[in-house]
Amino acid sequence: MKNYQAYLVDLDGTMYKGMQCIEDAPAFIEKLKKKNLPHLFLTNNSSLTQQQIADKLNGMGIASEEREVFTSSMATAAYIRQANPDAAVFAIGEEGLMAALEQEGLTLSDESADYVVIGIDRDINYEKLAKACLNVRNGAQFISTNGDIAIPTERGLLPGNGAITSVVSTSTGKLPLVIGKPESGIMDQALKELGVSRDETLMVGDNYDTDILAGMNAGLDTLMVFTGLTTEEQLKEHTEQPTYTVHTLKDWLDKL
């Protein structure tokens, strides 16, 4: 087994479920810290800021600093800034997306935008969708922070960003560039942030279709943990398998 120098760690289903900490998550992160192994918490969540997510983790007993959190909103903002630091961006999204765009020094604009960026927005309305369509039809590049079609909540599965984004893709006929897992955009940005090479980094997650595929798509080794969405039975149906699987992260502690 390789001696991995850095870790990318999914949140929902890997560190916590909703508001509940997963049992062996704190010990796993503690050991990463003790061994001085650089790591990022990697989430498709585009609505929260780094600080809000770090606070949530700390509140559950999972030691984390703001700079260890990397969201699809941050990856999106970094992607745009690298492509065109002077870009005008029309953005639909919540605090996490707006903060990330501001942090990258990007200019927000309702009209003549170079980019239309959509992240989950529970204050979505027709006017925002109309402006997104008009800008995309006028040639703006269309970007989606993540393609998740549903969000698990206590009420059931509510529409996710992939569903909201489909208004604009259906109306304009243009598909968005999706940054979040399983796409490689978020992985490329996270690896830049970590500063460690791909072949020394392990992607850890519970969801085959997002976390594990993201790792595979980015050429990383992957560690699948069965504390979240994908079950052992479901995993058997896939041809391409994760590099490693464990029942809980406790089973990985002696590999660190």
Q: Which residues are catalytic?
A: 10, 12
Tell me the C-alpha distance between 149 and 166, whole Å.
9
Shortest distance, CB of residue 13 to a copy of itself, whole angstroms? Answer: 19
Instruction: Specify the residue, 64 or 146, whose C-beta has the smaller distance to a copy of itself.
Output: 146
> How many residues are there in the chain?
256
> 55: annotated binding-site residue?
no
The gap between the terminal CA atoms of the chain, to the nearest Å, is 11
Q: Position of tokens 């909703």?
A: 18
> 251: annotated binding-site residue?
no
Shortest distance, CB of residue 199 to a copy of itself, whole angstroms? Answer: 36
List CB contacts of 166: < 8 A, sequence separation 6 or more: none
> 206: annotated binding-site residue?
yes
**Helices and strands of the chain, counted as H and E runs:** 9, 15
Q: Contact positions toward a copy of itself, by CB under 8 A?
A: 121-126, 129-130, 133-134, 137-138, 149-150, 155-160, 162-164, 166-173
Instruction: Specify the residue, 83 or 149, whose C-beta has the smaller distance to a copy of itself.
Output: 149
> 17: annotated binding-site residue?
no
Tell me the C-alpha distance between 35 and 116, whole Å.
41
Instruction: Specify the residue, 27 or 177, whose C-beta has the smaller distance to a copy of itself.
Output: 177
Shortest distance, CB of residue 134 to a copy of itself, whole angstroms? Answer: 5
Tell me the C-alpha distance between 223 and 197, whole Å.
17
Show the CA angle centred on residue 169, arms to residues 214 and 83, nearest 5°: 60
Instruction: Specify the residue, 5 or 171, whose C-beta has the smaller distance to a copy of itself.
Output: 171
Shortest distance, CB of residue 211 to a copy of itself, whole angstroms? Answer: 20
Show the CA angle centred on residue 13, arms to residues 1 and 198, nearest 5°: 40
Nearest to 110 by CA among 96, 124, 123, 91: 91
User: Which residue positions form the known binding site for Mg(2+)?
Assistant: 10, 12, 206
User: Which residue positions form the known binding site?
Assistant: 10, 12, 181, 206
